[in-house]
Structure 1
């Protein structure tokens, strides 16, 4: 049940109408709540407010908010199209969930609904003296909120959809996902140390990307059936029906068909990957932006250099105090989880850029400087792979560059060359 609610809520957050709908409901409730003040002691305390003054404000809100809402939707759609075209289609989900834009649209539409409901209630004598006063206060507050939101939104919409802002948004989401992974690399379960012997394979009954694994449901199943479950997939993996082994389990005279179905139900599969639980997906999206910028039709090496800087910042998350910490909060002790190989992170981050930018000296120099930088991180795998990928990047450049002084300069700046000369 929790898994279904999580997935449903995640999908709702991606819908453009969800937050405006919530604000509309709040607006209707506020317009009707003002009536509750009638017949209370407030009648003797509040001043007598003329309904004409409130109607003037409500008319102003109703006549302008619908136009502004349409303008806001048009601007957002243009920004979404720009993000997909100039960056990568994978960034669309991040841009569409931009909090500032959704909040602004929610305020504009909610204000319009509030003004309509309040006007109808006023015209039909729904409010008494106190109700009119409370409605007047609500209207003034809403009017001020609309002005402040509009000013903030104008500043935000000027950046929304622009390539630099999209890169920043993707990096921010990638950093959150990666930091969560570094802190809990095995999702509060146990790492696979010794694979289960004489284990039964569980095949996937779906085709698509693993988006979410309900660890609590798997733990509950393992405790009820006295099982040990070894997962063979992680969020971001593409699995195939009747072919891919998604888990292994050790059992004793159990209804395996039912258990296998429950394991499949705990692993949610979809058509696309999710940034939130897939720490590699952020690297992939950023590298796609860099590859697109390095294409001959666009020829924008500056964007690729900016992406390399984003990757560098992401790798330095391993240099924080939480880096290389062991799993301290094991809640799912009957489940073992595979580890994401560090080489996968390096492939996602640097291979596409080295491939597509192999002939650009500025990009390749920046790449070599990043390898020297991240080699200082206190992580053995990162240190080894930084040298390995420095050599791979140079080898790609050697195949693409024809100007020998550029190659000599690149070699002198490379990490593998400096490591070799120190030996």
Structure 2
């Protein structure tokens, strides 16, 4: 039963992030409005309002039929055009930026609501059309229902202008990066608020651990921490996931381990599996690591010869700077205790050193021949050094990344003027006396 509930939660999550979620809900709403209006028309609502609102009630059958036919044709064309435009935008975003930004664009609620309004208006119009000649009306035809169809059409035209503006803004890389940055920032702050900030207990080094095999192959995306902590409390064990969330696990191979006197392993595993979700979407509001990955890949794509947009790469580096500084506040050991303050769970976390390497490494490799990118990366490391004064254990990976960056610059940067600018920034970084080691200066050969 618990596994069914877990799978149901997964299906609900998939439906909620689908591009068809809001269009379906809004279409059903409009269908209900249409049925309700037809019911009121059978009670003579148009006939009762004919004298009071003569300009709103349509009384000519051919006119009503022409209006509804025109509305249905126009809205259908509008739907086709809008969906085609969405697909073109998604295709362009995938080609120019990164395929991983697509789920974020699809899950945009504003565009889904506009498309839902189009579909709902079309469904409403069709329902009214098939009842236009019903003999059960007291009035000659459902004039008020036709007038409402006209109002919905005017509303669609107004929202079509908004849709054009929205979809044009959504495809701009600056807006995409800012959206990913804000989602990642919010997720990071949420993780920091939940972080216990405690040192790693000795049990993870000296405990007697039993490995648990995965029952499914896929990306381990989400775990119900509260339910798993309560499960561990019930069986009086400590559980550790051996791979970070978002990594691919193989069915039949170890993905977690447990310490303690686990009496009923099968029952424990069954309950554990029911609180684990596997799916493919990589949304920044689900896991902050996805935000780092998407910003990094957008920067790398911008540095490729096919795009050649260093300005976007610089903006991505600036966003990464702030995110790295915020990430310093989050401990690398994610451990959780139960309500009795007993250790129950550890989630494997990508540590700060690996996160720096995974993000800055590709940008350094693809942008090492561009002195502007090299200088921006050095500025990033300088800002991280200042921020790490209150967190000295972050200085070692920062120093390592700086040395690797300067090693590449020594080989690829040939212009003496560019090398001098790099040395000036390196000197400023060394003068802070924050890093545990002094960074080497580039050799500069002045021309005669």
Length-normalised TM-score, structure 2:
0.80
- Quote the Cα distance in structure 2 between the aligned partners of 1:248 and 1:274: 29
Tell whether 2:229 aligns with 1:219. Answer: yes
* Residues 188 and 327, structure 2, Cα contact 8 Å, conserved in 1: no
Specify every segment of 5 or more residues in structure 1 that has no aligned partner in the other structure, as ranges: none
SS at match of 2:387: coil
Question: Structure 1 residues 7, 349: closer, same or farther in 2, change over 3 A?
Answer: same
* Residues 280 and 348, structure 1, Cα contact 8 Å, conserved in 2: no
Match of 2:70 in 1: 60
2:58 to 50, 57, 64: 50
How big is the shift at 1:223?
Answer: 4.1
- Quote the Cα distance in structure 2 between the aligned partners of 1:369 and 1:144: 52
Question: Structure 1 residues 191, 255: closer, same or farther in 2, change over 3 A?
Answer: farther
Match of 1:285 in 2: 294
2:407 to 366, 373, 395: 395
- Quote the Cα distance in structure 2 between the aligned partners of 1:85 and 1:152: 25
Question: Structure 1 residues 88, 126: closer, same or farther in 2, change over 3 A?
Answer: farther
- Quote the Cα distance in structure 2 between the aligned partners of 1:164 and 1:288: 14
- Structure-to-structure mapping, 1:70-219, within 5 angstroms: 70-125=80-135, 132=142, 135=145, 138-139=148-149, 141-185=151-195, 192-195=200-203, 197-219=207-229
How big is the shift at 1:28?
Answer: 0.5
Tell whether 2:369 aligns with 1:366. Answer: no
- Quote the Cα distance in structure 1 between the aligned partners of 2:198 and 2:126: 56
Match of 1:418 in 2: 431
Q: Deviations over 1:243-297 (max 9, x none)?
A: 3332324234x22133224323422234564433221111112111212222234
- Quote the Cα distance in structure 2 between the aligned partners of 1:208 and 1:11: 15
Q: Give the length in aligned residue pairs.
A: 416
Match of 2:441 in 1: none
* Cα-Cα RMSD: 3.5
- Quote the Cα distance in structure 2 between the aligned partners of 1:2 and 1:211: 17
Q: Deviations over 1:5-54 (max 9, x none)?
A: 33212222343333222221111001111245468897897445235466
How big is the shift at 1:56?
Answer: 5.3
Tell whether 2:322 aligns with 1:313. Answer: yes
Worse-superposed segment, 3-12 or 217-226: 217-226
Q: Deviations over 1:398-419 (max 9, x none)?
A: 2322233322311221364333
* Residues 202 and 249, structure 1, Cα contact 8 Å, conserved in 2: no
- Quote the Cα distance in structure 1 between the aligned partners of 2:308 and 2:219: 32
- Structure-to-structure mapping, 1:15-30, within 5 angstroms: 15-30=18-33
- Quote the Cα distance in structure 1 between the aligned partners of 2:14 and 2:20: 12
Length-normalised TM-score, structure 1:
0.84
Worse-superposed segment, 102-111 or 73-82: 102-111
Question: Structure 1 residues 418, 395: closer, same or farther in 2, change over 3 A?
Answer: farther
